[in-house]
Amino acid sequence: MWICRSNRGKGAVCFIKLRDGTGSLQAFIKKGNVSDEELEIAQTASRESTFQITGEIAKKRPPKVPEGEPLPPPEYEIVASKIIILSLAETPMPLGVTDKVEVGMDVRLDNRFLDLRRKHINAMFKLRSRILQYGREHLISEGFGEINSPKIIAAAAEGGTNLFPIKYFDRDAYLSQSPQLYKQLAVMGNLERVFEIGPAFRAEKHDTYRHLNEFISFDIEMAWASDEDVMQVQERMISHIWSEIKSNDQSLIDDINEFRVSEEKEPIVVNVPSIPFPRVSYCEAIELIQNKGIEINWGDDIEAHHADMLAEKYSEFYFIPKWPMAMKPFYIFHDKNETSATGGQLSRGFDLNYGRDEMTSGGQREHRADVLTQNLIDVDLNPDDFDFYIDGFRYGAPPHAGWGLGVARLLMVLTGAGNVRETVLFPRDRRRCTP
Ligand code: AMO
């Protein structure tokens, strides 16, 4: 166990507070029970040193309580008979584990292994694991199977400008921006419901609280499905994740709240979102933002400061379906038969937002090889670079749909963390590629 509180006691006795992943415990160390050398080690060892302690578990002496008042439940301690020091921690530490930390995010991230020992940070990453576990469980219960697509690729899925080039033997290749093309090819191969949780790389020069250059994308792809079908999969999955966390992981939320309260921040409450989530179509969203007196035109992107206006009405999860085709990638289905006033310019692409922040993009896909080829030409991509992909649609192709969800952003809204760097173990941004 780790020493987490300074040693108390001099002379013949000493108390140390220990912790490991199962909890914390006081050790009572007394001259005579252990050797003089062991007693000295216990009295002088630095915080965060690790020990192996053998001894007997005993009830601690109960605290004094005013007459007539009930005693609190008994507490236990270990009365040590043998102490082995496993590793002495160096001093001073770059940041404290049990004290209030006054250092900035860079120092914390440089020393992430220590930062992680802090209770609320540790809880954050346990919750991250739960999100993935409950998400996986839910999709498997709906008949999805997990796939893994290559991360070394030769063609851009999400536009050619934000690729990280790499040398692949004697040719050029890139780090994958998303599993998009491969999850679709898996569906073309009769794996009708697939999901993937894997890294995506974007060479974007953003420096914001919600962009990283490497992030984990939680993707699905589903045959015989429309945009509406996969939005429903997503809302069921998110609602399941929230409900499982509420039922099973309140202690992790409590650890985060203990810290938030100490920082005078509102504690977080896990409210299971009711389904269906609201749908605010792109056209409605533009109108709503314009009605708030904010300048935005049909065809503009809905940026975070625009979404602030939507968040006044929709503060939690809501979908924004039916984006203009011109704003969506070539693989999205262009709904030319859509008969609204937009003259057939809409697509079956959607986003999921939580308040101001985008969590997901998705949509129904174009499944006709000739239209896909034209779509590539329309956005100045060379169809020859996409032969391996277009070929997948030449021999029968089911209509299909899917989405990609940013895991770090979902954890950010669950835990009230104000920055995705908080929710990624070792974040990668423009300035950071270590540790
Ligand atoms: P998109 O590019 O919108 O769509 O990405 C999907 C989701 O991934 C998250 N995300 C990011 N998170 C952190 N840093 C970034 N730089 C970053 N970029 C994206 C966001 C976003 O909503 N192929 C499509 C998905 C699909 O249609 O299936 C895609 O990748 O939460």
- Would you identify the CATH topology of the domain 119-145+223-423? BirA Bifunctional Protein; domain 2 (3.30.930)
Domains 2-91 and 119-145+223-423 share a fold: no
Ligand 1 neighbours (beta carbon < 6 A): 158, 178, 180, 202, 204, 211-212, 215, 217, 219, 358-363, 402-404, 406, 408-409, 420
* Residue 313, Cβ density class (10 Å: 0-12 exposed, 13-18 middle, ≥19 buried): exposed
Q: What is the pTM of this model?
A: 0.95
**Residue in 378, 423, 359, 369 with CA at minimum distance from that of residue 396:** 369
Domain definitions of the chain by residue range: 2-91, 119-145+223-423
Q: What digits encode the pLDDT tens for the residues 119-148?
A: 999 999 999 999 999 999 999 999 999 999
Q: What digits encode the pLDDT tens for the residues 237-283?
A: 999 999 999 999 999 999 999 999 999 999 999 999 999 999 999 99
Q: What is the pLDDT of residue 203?
A: 95
Residue whose CA lies nearest to ligand 1 atom number 13: 211
Q: What digits encode the pLDDT tens for the residues 250-259?
A: 999 999 999 9
Examine the pLDDT at 285 and tell me if it is beyond 80. yes
Query: Using 50, 70 and 90 to split pLDDT, how confident is the model at 306?
Result: very high
Asked if 407 and 132 count as a contact pair (C-beta separation under 8 A), the reply is yes
- Would you identify the CATH topology of the domain 2-91? OB fold (Dihydrolipoamide Acetyltransferase, E2P) (2.40.50)
Examine the pLDDT at 4 and tell me if it is beyond 70. no
Distance (Å) from CA 252 to ligand 1 centroid: 27
- In SS3 terms, 109-176 reads as HHCHHHHCCCHHHHHHHHHHHHHHHHHHHHHHHCCCEECCCCCEECCCCCCCCCCCEEEECCEEEEEC
Percent of the residues in the chain that have a pLDDT greater than 70, as a whole number: 98
Type of residue numbered 258? E
Q: What digits encode the pLDDT tens for the residues 381-409?
A: 899 999 999 999 999 999 999 999 999 99
